[in-house]
Amino acid sequence: MLLVKFKIGDNYYAINTDDVIEIIPAIPFRPIPGTPDFFAGIFDYHGQIVSVIDVSRLTINTPSILRLSTRIILLDFPFKNKKTILGLLAEDVTDVIDVEDSSFQNTGISSEKAPFLTSVCKYEGKLVQLIQIEKLFSKELQEKVFSLFDHAK
């Protein structure tokens, strides 16, 4: 399984590359007043306005630190039966890793507040937990993010 590895706080997480369009350097965003804290802003990606979510702010309520390794992971995200580009701001995006499915172990722990967390593997001596993107962005969150631009169409 091919994964994009990144950090949230002091811990490593990964998402499957199946829905990843591109990984780009963090660039200045245009903030949108009145949006939730996890909404980093918007930017123009080849003529399309892209919303960017700060994954650290969303999950642990701490903003991502902008470093050379902080990146925007562009996702091909399904919203209302249509693919939409969504940016995920994440720290320490330095590796795309190939991990065997059999390397992952179920933690046996589930949380209503973090239904997006799944199994864990050990990669280069560090625990890496898999995140299911479709569960990270709940229906309520999708409405908050994408409704900003629904009226413009």
Each residue's pLDDT, cut to its tens digit, for the chain (153 residues) gives 999 999 999 999 999 999 899 999 999 999 989 888 999 999 999 999 999 999 999 999 999 999 999 999 999 887 777 778 899 999 999 889 999 989 999 887 877 778 888 999 999 999 999 999 888 887 777 777 666 655 444
pLDDT for residue 148? 61
Q: What is the pTM of this model?
A: 0.88
What does the alpha-carbon distance between residue 17 and residue 80 come to, in Å, rounded to a whole number?
21
Show the tokens assigned to 59: 């999950």
Cα(68)–Cα(58) distance, rounded to whole angstroms? 21
- The pLDDT value recorded for residue 90 is 98
What's the CA gap between 93 and 14, in Å, rounded? 10
How far out from the chain centre does Cα 129 lie? 13
Q: What is residue 153's predicted lDDT score, i.e. its pLDDT? A: 41
CB atoms within 10 A of CB 135: 12
The residue to which tokens 């994964």 are assigned: 3
- The pLDDT of residue 69 is 96
Q: Taking the domains of the chain in order of start, what are their residue ranges?
A: 2-150
> What's the confidence (pLDDT) of residue 30?
94
Q: What is the pLDDT of residue 152?
A: 43
> From 2.120.10.80, 3.40.50.720, 2.40.50.180, 3.30.750.24, which CATH number describes the 2-150 domain?
2.40.50.180
